[in-house]
Structure 1
Amino acid sequence: MQAGWDDFRLVKAVADRHGLTGAAESLGIDHSTAFRRLGAIEKSLGVCLFERHRSGYKATAAGQAMIDVAARMEADIDGFARAIVGQSDAMVGELRITAPTSFANTFLMPILADFSRRYPAMRLELIFAEETLNLSRRDADVALRASRGPDETLVGRRLTGIGWALYGAAGRSFGPLAEEDWVGLTEGVAGGLFTQFIRQRTAPERVVLCLNGVAGLREAVASGIGIGPLPCVEGDGDSRLQRLGGLEPELDRDLWLLTHQDLRRSARVRAFMDHMAAAMLPLRPLFEGRAVSP
């Protein structure tokens, strides 16, 4: 039996997710089906593709060779799909957008609603994720990302700066901030930038809660668990919060709207990027922290 694309895709999924359970979930099949298919592939090829360990599946030399082929096939397929979409001038079909979860409750929904009214034949798929999705694989067509510079493989526009400041629960009085309880983002967010920021301002024992996302951080501060840094677009627009000082330049980020270079000529992508850029202009003072005085 000659291995087909579905066989290569299963083997790569097992490697990517270190086992059958994650591979099955990613491919939309059940565990028993994945188990049978992998066994059938190994039997037909006459080789063992994975060593089974308690820590997960580890590819053998034959398995790695198949994974490498699968990666090249996947890249070619993704490239073909991007090229087709990039050549399309039709304002119909699907557009996949990814954005941080916190944007759901701030500014994004009204902008998407207006875009949908203008282009009713288009269907939007919105993926909220804190992790960075892969635009080369078309996990999404366009991405809203807060960063200090986009990946060199991507193209797009800087929409606005993002100012940050310290916030606490509204209606409370605060003493020296170093003596207050703090909440912050985990070490894995932004390379530990926010962890370092807090370490420079208070003792480790004053940090009572760490989270992996801004939306949860806002709720923690508003609930009075502790004070903490927030983007001004999150903090200044929430009546449950009060700003505790000026802007913190070392936390500044830019908001980028990005796409893969193969998609930059797509009519759907161009229309969405133009729409977002125009809609963001009046929102810049809020994002940059200039809408209110501390």
Structure 2
Amino acid sequence: MDWDKLRIFHAVADAGSLTHAGERLNLSQSAVSRQIRALEENLNATLFHRHARGLILTEQGELLFDATKSMSRRLDTAWARIRDSADEVFGELRVTTTTGFGTLWLAPRLGKFYEMYPDMKVDLMLEERVMDLPMREADVAIRMKEPSQADLVRKRLMGVQMRIYASRKYLEQNGVPQTLEDVTRHRLICQNPSTPQVSAGAVMIQHLLAYNPHSLLTVNNYFGVLQAVLSDLGLGILPDYLIEDFPQLVRAFPEIESAEVPVYLAYPEELRQSQRIAAFREFVQDEVIAHRRQLRQMGEL
């Protein structure tokens, strides 16, 4: 097995271009092309369809790319475990969480993490899709439900509830709703019911829609909902972790909230001894404690 040729093939398949792969590998396009042709000759198979717009994997190429991706993940794991054997915290940490939580709660607090570990590189991946941690799509995840995958270390961080908020200016201009029937005189801002989201939020949205709001604005993530509420557009369904950082929000219908959504931090069992993971875990736990202390002082808990 020629590992060098496989490494070059993986770079080409990932980049979809001989030129881009050569730039990553510090090789000329012609050198990359020769290695790919040699690999195809060794395998007696065509790995790429050549097009003017780039390279497309053949069926045989897809099979080989699946194998090299698995190899790459395993090498990344080995590399991380070797580097993490030292006491010093450094290197790259790939963190995945939802768009709303990552944008509105985690990212604004990362400055403190960099103050403690200035040599760290954090790759923050924000999406609703649940990434496969055992397959090393990410190193650590913060999820809005308990992870179901096996071989994960998991820790419950806190609980989140969806509540109804508005800006002070909006309420001054449109009045403070007293009962749910008053929703018929207001614009409701929420995630689109068909958007992937926590079930507690979806249930609350359906409940309020039953009261026929006067107008409706739906967005596909909480960041958009927040911006609309801050722009005085209406009553918004938002997670309660926002109130600490946006004191201009006023809670409407204080007696109404969703069921609690558990927030978990998880990472692969094989990274249990990772210094990077330990540093990030302790940082997040400390921030959650500070967050909950602030909410108690504000009377929100």
* TM-score where L is the length of structure 1: 0.71
CA contact (8 A) 1:10 1:38 kept: no
Aligned with 1:248 (options 245, 249, 257): 257
Aligned with 1:232 (options 226, 240, 243): 240
Give the deviation of 1:292 after TM superposition: 3.2
Tell me the amino acid that sits aligned with residue 86 of structure 2: D
Give the deviation of 1:125 after TM superposition: 2.0
Aligned with 1:127 (options 124, 128, 135): 124
Give the deviation of 1:128 after TM superposition: 5.1
Matched with 2:188 is 182
Q: Distance in 1 between matches of 2:215 and 2:200?
A: 15
Q: Distance in 2 between matches of 1:81 and 1:276?
A: 24
CA contact (8 A) 1:178 1:202 kept: no
Matched with 1:10 is 12
Q: Secondary structure at the match of 1:156?
A: strand
Q: Secondary structure at the match of 1:200?
A: helix
Tell me the amino acid that sits aligned with residue 209 of structure 2: T
CA contact (8 A) 1:236 1:243 kept: no
Matched with 1:292 is 299
2:90 maps to 1:78: no
Q: Secondary structure at the match of 1:249?
A: coil
Tell me the amino acid that sits aligned with residue 242 of structure 2: E
Q: Distance in 2 between matches of 1:124 and 1:72?
A: 23
Percent identical residues: 21
Matched with 1:17 is none
Describe the shift of the 1:73–1:91 C-alpha distance in structure 2 as closer, same or farther (beyond 3 A): same
Q: Secondary structure at the match of 2:208?
A: coil
Q: Secondary structure at the match of 2:67?
A: helix
2:229 maps to 1:221: yes
Give the deviation of 1:64 after TM superposition: 3.5
Matched with 2:265 is 257
Tell me the amino acid that sits aligned with residue 207 of structure 2: Q
CA contact (8 A) 2:191 2:219 kept: yes
Stretches of structure 1 lacking an aligned partner (at least 5 in a row): 15-19
2:166 maps to 1:168: yes
2:202 maps to 1:198: no
CA contact (8 A) 1:163 1:247 kept: no
Q: Map Cα deviations across residues 25-44 of structure 1 (whole Å, 9 max, x no partner).
A: 9x969xxx69x859954864
Matched with 2:289 is 281
Describe the shift of the 1:38–1:162 C-alpha distance in structure 2 as closer, same or farther (beyond 3 A): farther
Matched with 2:90 is 93
169-178 or 210-219, which deviates more: 169-178
Q: Distance in 1 between matches of 2:49 and 2:105?
A: 47
Give the deviation of 1:127 after TM superposition: 1.6
Give the deviation of 1:208 after TM superposition: 3.4
Q: Map Cα deviations across residues 213-238 of structure 1 (whole Å, 9 max, x no partner).
A: 22221111121333221111214542
Give the deviation of 1:70 after TM superposition: 2.0
Q: Secondary structure at the match of 2:216?
A: strand
Describe the shift of the 1:277–1:224 C-alpha distance in structure 2 as closer, same or farther (beyond 3 A): same
Q: Map Cα deviations across residues 104-137 of structure 1 (whole Å, 9 max, x no partner).
A: 5546545x444444455x4242525234555445
Q: Distance in 2 between matches of 1:192 and 1:206?
A: 24
Q: Secondary structure at the match of 2:238?
A: strand
Describe the shift of the 1:57–1:220 C-alpha distance in structure 2 as closer, same or farther (beyond 3 A): farther
Q: If you compute each CA radius of gyration, which structure gives the higher value, 1 or 2?
A: 2
2:209 maps to 1:212: no
**What is the aligned length?**
275
Q: Secondary structure at the match of 1:47?
A: coil
Q: Distance in 1 between matches of 2:227 and 2:216?
A: 14
Stretches of structure 2 lacking an aligned partner (at least 5 in a row): none
Q: Map Cα deviations across residues 117-170 of structure 1 (whole Å, 9 max, x no partner).
A: 4455x4242525234555445554333x24120243421321211122011222
Describe the shift of the 1:227–1:205 C-alpha distance in structure 2 as closer, same or farther (beyond 3 A): closer
Give the deviation of 1:101 after TM superposition: 5.0
Describe the shift of the 1:210–1:286 C-alpha distance in structure 2 as closer, same or farther (beyond 3 A): farther
